[in-house]
């Protein structure tokens, strides 16, 4: 043990070999770095190989080649690398000799991994489930390849367009010592520069006990660029240092003076990002000139200069700040929305590319299913009767899709297609795995199809077969009821469940009831097949379904008019309609800024109504579902549904092709106007987890000068938004990330779709105008689930509702009747998880180990019933796995929990009471406190 201990110490020392600084001088930490978008103007492959350089000159393979060469030339030189999606691919292509060199550079701290996720995720439009997965994917590669010295100490989100509190919370729980970013509101930045609050402690959760979600956070001085005049990349035109004294244009003195004059922070240490997008493809240019800069600036110390320049890294800089033992300001809200000028609010991308955003979310659900079935099916799921399958491809596709120019919708069109293609390819690999796994679990190797196009009512098998079975796999840890619609050609079907019991179903003019065997393999679910029928007239409709909700429509306008909670007997007036903001084409008066993929800038604060009245054409009433279809225009319609046994009202909207022939770009919203006295307040989630309070024309920590009354009040929602007063809360659960706001008392608006005519000058170089299948504009369809409750029970409804939206059942179909020995029902869990517990992750880790994440899905205080510690016994979770051992890990699964030893920081005192946490009753019984996620590596054996 002594030997082990020493070796551990040795390694620690080895990895953290930070350069010496000079305590009596201003130490300028030059941080050589490259920012490599995992797709943007080019696809991730094109960026890696340096293809399509006519679009943008960028080739990551060469960046890494070049940096590794240059690092070897001088032990003082340092470099940080961030995006593991690229590094991983490069590493695979290196020979052993290069791999050995790189390992040594890592061990010596000369090459340091920073952030280390598969990508640098977007913060506004990502769901925490996928973010944790993509971080885990990247960190695991680094850990497997380099061990402790490869573990990133610092989170580094230099480019994302605003910063989510949940991201900070995740980073803290992953063990990062600090976090740096580049972009924040220009007013906020100006203030922080003035008050020296560029660095702070971010308390990123109101539920978790500090310092669990505390993260030291620094705003970088120059975004992520070098100071003006000091960009020595091949992509820059700044003057190189010309130090040949014979030269007519010798410029050393001038450059050194300029450097000394650059406005520094007043601290003893300052970080300087020396690099930018896809820089260091020819690292020699950078290092050669920085070598000279260091040499000539430090040479002045002999003449009394108090400036000390050195190669460094963010973690070395952070270490110095930590040693300074200062007290830092405390930050408890987030950094949304982001504006870089008065009319330049980056709030359009909250909604940009709504179909890609949905597909990404759906793909997450599929990946979780794939991961779970890989665990449940065992090794044969990857190589079984249907061939070779894997979840890795989908993991990587999802990893890439989290990038801040992927799901954000801010990439070029051809790149958006590439992301979608990758997800589809990933799913194709998963499909094989799922087929294998279901064959193993059911004992039936009969062919199985997945109907990908059920959203447009296409499924060749169900449309042609007289007898088929449907399998529903539910990846949630508990039973849900889920409506299914299938296209069929017959007119009379009988539907039975796994036990042969008849299932309630109906045949409508499009969707008809079916007769088949319905059996279920899932974590725990029920089989519900409500199908629709009977159209009636379109005026004065009253939907009064089952026992939970009453909805009324205005008989003149055809719009929703009220909502009644039948359990509490509360009613609100509720009007819902669709509008479009006219996207600004820029103007000479205030700003040339246009609305684009990133920026939302309406021409006027008043949106145009699509139609004051809706043509309410079809109504279906049955014992399973009640349904009204509203037509607002040829390109906007909606189906309003209530399901038996459900508390939510479903609004299925269809928007598009958005017409732009009139020369006007359009940003389409739906707005809910109620008599709830919400005043200026509304609430939005952060990455699908904790909820933040928002207030119109207001920022919690700084004096806002509002210059964009609409765009400046938009916030990202990933899973939900709500408004409330003392008695009522109207919550909207969404199926994807969107932008939302509340601009009027009692009002909540959500942006659904955007089609624009101009680029917005942030580099993408294209107007956001998705062509769709027929090149006339993309049609987007989606669902908003409305719940109406008293505030104190709202979470009890919207928490499980939102998780059910994220992890959807997977349907698959087999022709004919299942053979006799087919197992018709299966559950991987011994029993439903407790209502507060969400199964966030279940995936195969190594041959005998499984990664599991259990999550408390309620915030502290939001639910009387559920905002309590809850305990789960790890040994009693699975029905088919014997759990032999469990080791708790950091959230990123790249460190044992017991080894986590983050830097400690002093923050200003807060008046808010700090949440407390309960302890585990025993080693196997783990307690989850509100909003806590616990990550375990389980050693398992298939039963």
The residues annotated as belonging to the active site are 159
Which residue from 40, 47, 62, 349 is in contact with a copy of itself, where contact means CB under 8 A? 62
Which residue from 248, 662, 726, 898 is in contact with a copy of itself, where contact means CB under 8 A? 248
Name the nearest CA neighbour of 165 among 416, 384, 333. Answer: 333
Which residue from 4, 5, 244, 491 is in contact with a copy of itself, where contact means CB under 8 A? 244
Mapped onto helix, strand or coil, the DSSP state of residue 186 is helix
Which residue from 19, 69, 254, 570 is in contact with a copy of itself, where contact means CB under 8 A? 69
Name the nearest CA neighbour of 668 among 574, 760, 777. Answer: 777
- Residues whose CB falls within 8 Å of the CB of residue 12, separated by 6 or more in sequence, listed in order: 148
User: Is the four-CA dihedral 819, 820, 824, 828 of positive or negative sign?
Assistant: negative
The interface mask with a copy of itself, positions 405-424, x = CB under 8 A, is ----------------x---
Distance CA 205, CA 686 (A): 10
CB of 884 to a copy of itself, least distance (A): 35
Token look-up 């080895």 returns 14
Size of the site for a copy of itself (CB under 8 A): 34
Name the nearest CA neighbour of 584 among 670, 696, 658, 663. Answer: 663
Q: Are 617 and 639 in contact (CB under 8 A)?
A: no
Q: Are 280 and 79 in contact (CB under 8 A)?
A: yes
Mapped onto helix, strand or coil, the DSSP state of residue 672 is strand
Which residue from 285, 416, 599, 833 is in contact with a copy of itself, where contact means CB under 8 A? 285
Token look-up 């899905």 returns 857
CB of 249 to a copy of itself, least distance (A): 6
Nearer to a copy of itself by Cβ, of 53 and 706: the residue is 53
- Residues whose CB falls within 8 Å of the CB of residue 628, separated by 6 or more in sequence, listed in order: 541, 543, 553, 616, 618, 619, 639, 640, 641
Q: Are 83 and 399 in contact (CB under 8 A)?
A: no
Nearer to a copy of itself by Cβ, of 93 and 195: the residue is 93
Residues recorded for the chain: 943
Which residue from 96, 237, 569, 588 is in contact with a copy of itself, where contact means CB under 8 A? 237
Nearer to a copy of itself by Cβ, of 248 and 726: the residue is 248
- Token readout for 280 is 């260091």
Nearer to a copy of itself by Cβ, of 49 and 544: the residue is 49
Considering only the stretches 74-82, 119-127, 229-237, 460-468, report the one whose residues sit in contact with a copy of itself under the rule CB under 8 A.
229-237
- Residues whose CB falls within 8 Å of the CB of residue 132, separated by 6 or more in sequence, listed in order: 170, 840, 841, 853, 891, 892, 933
CB of 73 to a copy of itself, least distance (A): 9
- Residues whose CB falls within 8 Å of the CB of residue 164, separated by 6 or more in sequence, listed in order: 123, 124, 334, 335, 336, 686, 687, 716
Which residue from 11, 61, 571, 917 is in contact with a copy of itself, where contact means CB under 8 A? 61
Phi-psi region of 558 (alpha: psi -120 to 50; beta: other; left: phi over 0): left
The reply to whether 281 sits near a copy of itself by the rule CB under 8 A is yes
Nearer to a copy of itself by Cβ, of 49 and 924: the residue is 49
Helix/strand/coil (H/E/C) assignment for every residue in 74-109:
CCCCCEEECCHHHHHHHHHCCCHHHHHHHHHHHHCC
Nearer to a copy of itself by Cβ, of 170 and 285: the residue is 285
Nearer to a copy of itself by Cβ, of 233 and 340: the residue is 233
Distance CA 696, CA 706 (A): 10
Which residue from 6, 12, 247, 324 is in contact with a copy of itself, where contact means CB under 8 A? 247
Which residue from 21, 27, 34, 66 is in contact with a copy of itself, where contact means CB under 8 A? 66
Nearer to a copy of itself by Cβ, of 61 and 747: the residue is 61
Considering only the stretches 49-57, 154-162, 458-466, 821-829, report the one whose residues sit in contact with a copy of itself under the rule CB under 8 A.
49-57
The interface mask with a copy of itself, positions 182-221, x = CB under 8 A, is ----------------------------------------
The interface mask with a copy of itself, positions 535-574, x = CB under 8 A, is ----------------------------------------
DSSP state of 339: B
Name the nearest CA neighbour of 763 among 599, 889, 644. Answer: 599
Considering only the stretches 61-69, 301-309, 582-590, 613-621, report the one whose residues sit in contact with a copy of itself under the rule CB under 8 A.
61-69
- Report, in this order, helix, strand and coil percent for the chain, each rounded to 5: 25, 25, 45
Site for a copy of itself in 78-117 (CB under 8 A): 89, 93
Nearer to a copy of itself by Cβ, of 276 and 465: the residue is 276
Distance CA 730, CA 714 (A): 18
Edge-first strand order for the sheet with 330-331 is 154-157, 178-181, 214-219, 199-203, 330-331
CB of 875 to a copy of itself, least distance (A): 39
Distance CA 193, CA 778 (A): 43
Considering only the stretches 114-122, 146-154, 231-239, 846-854, report the one whose residues sit in contact with a copy of itself under the rule CB under 8 A.
231-239
Report the relative pairing of strands 881-889 and 542-545 from DSSP bridges.
unpaired
Name the nearest CA neighbour of 347 among 23, 533, 583. Answer: 583
The reply to whether 242 sits near a copy of itself by the rule CB under 8 A is yes
Considering only the stretches 42-50, 113-121, 517-525, 867-875, report the one whose residues sit in contact with a copy of itself under the rule CB under 8 A.
42-50
Nearer to a copy of itself by Cβ, of 235 and 613: the residue is 235
Considering only the stretches 205-213, 284-292, 601-609, 925-933, report the one whose residues sit in contact with a copy of itself under the rule CB under 8 A.
284-292
Which residue from 54, 491, 569, 588 is in contact with a copy of itself, where contact means CB under 8 A? 54
Considering only the stretches 277-285, 478-486, 592-600, 629-637, report the one whose residues sit in contact with a copy of itself under the rule CB under 8 A.
277-285
Q: Are 276 and 226 in contact (CB under 8 A)?
A: yes
Considering only the stretches 51-59, 259-267, 401-409, 699-707, report the one whose residues sit in contact with a copy of itself under the rule CB under 8 A.
51-59
CB of 406 to a copy of itself, least distance (A): 16
Nearer to a copy of itself by Cβ, of 249 and 726: the residue is 249
- Count of beta carbons in the 10 Å neighbourhood of residue 406: 34
Q: Are 715 and 723 in contact (CB under 8 A)?
A: no
CB of 423 to a copy of itself, least distance (A): 13
The reply to whether 864 sits near a copy of itself by the rule CB under 8 A is no
Nearer to a copy of itself by Cβ, of 248 and 662: the residue is 248
| Residues that bind a copy of itself in the complex, under the rule CB under 8 A | 45-46, 49-54, 57, 59, 61-62, 65-66, 69, 89, 93, 234, 236-237, 239-240, 242, 244, 247-249, 281-282, 284-285, 288, 421, 425
């Amino acid at each position: 043990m002594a030997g082990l201990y020493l070796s551990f110490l040795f390694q620690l020392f080895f990895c953290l070999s930070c350069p010496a600084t000079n305590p009596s001088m201003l130490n300028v930490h030059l941080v050589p770095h490259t920012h490599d978008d995992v797709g943007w103007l080019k696809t991730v492959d094109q960026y890696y190989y340096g293809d399509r350089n006519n679009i943008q000159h960028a080739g990551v393979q060469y960046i890494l080649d070049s940096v590794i060469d240059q690092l070897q030339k001088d032990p003082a030189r340092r470099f940080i690398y961030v995006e593991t999606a690229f590094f991983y691919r490069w590493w695979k292509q290196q020979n052993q000799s290069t791999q050995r060199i790189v390992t040594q550079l890592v061990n010596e701290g000369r090459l340091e991994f920073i952030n280390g996720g598969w990508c640098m995720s977007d913060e506004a439009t990502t769901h925490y489930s996928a973010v944790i997965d993509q971080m885990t994917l990247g960190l695991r590669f680094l850990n497997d390849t380099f061990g402790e010295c490869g573990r990133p100490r610092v989170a580094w989100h230099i480019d994302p367009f605003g910063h989510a509190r949940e991201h900070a919370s995740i980073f803290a729980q992953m063990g990062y010592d600090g976090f740096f970013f580049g972009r924040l509101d220009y007013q906020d930045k100006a203030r922080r520069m003035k008050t020296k609050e560029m660095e702070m402690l971010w308390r990123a959760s109101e539920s978790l006990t500090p310092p669990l979600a505390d993260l030291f956070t620094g705003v970088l001085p120059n975004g992520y660029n070098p100071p003006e005049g000091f960009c020595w990349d091949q992509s820059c035109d700044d003057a190189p240092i010309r130090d040949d004294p014979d030269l007519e244009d010798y410029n050393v003195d001038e450059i050194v003076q300029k450097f000394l004059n650059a406005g520094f922070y007043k601290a003893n240490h300052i970080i300087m990002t020396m690099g930018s997008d896809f820089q260091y493809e020819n690292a020699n240019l950078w290092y050669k000139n920085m070598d000279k800069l260091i040499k000539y600036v430090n040479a002045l110390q002999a003449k009394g200069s108090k400036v000390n320049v050195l190669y460094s890294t963010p973690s070395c800089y952070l270490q110095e700040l930590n040693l300074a033992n200062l007290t830092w300001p405390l930050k408890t809200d987030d950094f949304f929305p982001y504006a870089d000028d008065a009319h330049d609010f980056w709030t359009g991308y909250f909604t940009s590319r709504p179909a890609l955003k949905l597909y990404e979310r759906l793909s997450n659900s599929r990946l979780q299913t794939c991961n779970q079935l890989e665990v449940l099916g065992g090794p044969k799921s990857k190589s079984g009767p249907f061939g070779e399958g894997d979840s890795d491809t989908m993991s990587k596709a999802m990893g890439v899709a989290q990038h801040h120019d992927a799901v954000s919708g801010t990439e070029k069109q051809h790149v958006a297609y590439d992301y979608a293609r990758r997800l589809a390819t990933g799913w194709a690999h998963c499909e094989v795995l799922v087929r294998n796994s279901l064959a193993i679990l059911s004992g039936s190797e009969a062919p199985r199809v997945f109907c990908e196009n059920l959203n447009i009512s296409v499924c060749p098998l169900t449309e042609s077969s007289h007898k088929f079975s449907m399998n529903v796999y539910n990846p949630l840890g508990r039973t849900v009821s889920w409506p299914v619609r299938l296209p069929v050609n017959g007119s009379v079907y009988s539907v039975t469940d796994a036990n042969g019991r008849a299932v309630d179903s109906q045949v409508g003019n499009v969707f008809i009831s079916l007769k088949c065997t319905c059996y279920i393999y899932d974590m725990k679910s029920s089989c519900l097949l409500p199908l629709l029928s009977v159209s009636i007239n379109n005026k004065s409709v009253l939907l009064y379904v089952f026992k939970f909700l009453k909805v009324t429509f205005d008989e003149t306008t055809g719009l929703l008019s009220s909502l009644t909670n039948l359990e509490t007997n509360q009613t609100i007036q509720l009007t819902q309609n669709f509008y479009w903001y006219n996207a600004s084409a820029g103007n000479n008066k205030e700003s040339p800024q246009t609305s684009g993929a990133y920026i939302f800038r309406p021409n006027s604060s008043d949106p145009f109504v699509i139609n004051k009245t809706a043509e309410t054409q079809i109504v279906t009433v049955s014992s399973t579902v009640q349904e009204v279809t509203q037509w607002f225009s040829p390109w906007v319609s909606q189906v309003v549904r209530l399901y038996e046994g459900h508390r939510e009202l479903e609004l299925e909207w269809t928007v598009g092709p958005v017409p732009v022939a009139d020369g006007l770009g359009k940003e389409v919203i739906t707005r809910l106007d109620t008599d709830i006295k919400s005043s200026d307040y509304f609430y939005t989630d952060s990455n699908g987890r904790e909820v933040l309070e928002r207030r119109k024309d207001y920022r919690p920590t700084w004096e806002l000068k509002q210059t964009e009354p609409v765009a400046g009040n938009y916030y990202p929602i990933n899973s939900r938004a709500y408004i409330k007063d003392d008695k009522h809360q109207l919550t909207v659960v969404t199926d994807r990330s969107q932008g939302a706001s509340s601009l009027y008392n009692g009002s909540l608006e959500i942006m659904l779709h955007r089609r624009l005519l101009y680029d917005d000058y942030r580099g993408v170089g294209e107007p956001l105008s998705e062509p769709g299948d027929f090149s006339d504009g993309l049609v987007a369809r989606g669902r908003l689930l409305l719940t109406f409750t008293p505030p104190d029970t709202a979470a009890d409804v919207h928490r499980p509702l939102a998780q059910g939206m994220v992890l959807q059942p997977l349907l698959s179909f087999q022709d004919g009747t299942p053979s006799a020995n087919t197992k018709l029902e299966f559950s991987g869990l011994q029993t439903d998880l407790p209502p507060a517990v969400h199964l966030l992750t279940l995936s195969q880790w190594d041959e005998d180990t499984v990664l599991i994440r259990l999550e408390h899905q309620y915030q502290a205080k939001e639910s009387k019933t559920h905002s309590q510690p809850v305990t789960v016994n790890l040994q009693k979770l699975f029905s088919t796995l014997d759990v032999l051992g469990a080791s708790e890990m950091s959230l990123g699964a790249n460190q044992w929990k017991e080894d986590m030893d983050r830097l400690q920081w002093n923050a200003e005192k807060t008046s808010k009471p700090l949440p407390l946490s309960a302890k585990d009753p025993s080693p196997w019984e783990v307690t989850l406190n509100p909003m806590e996620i616990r990550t375990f590596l389980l050693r398992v054996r298939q039963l």
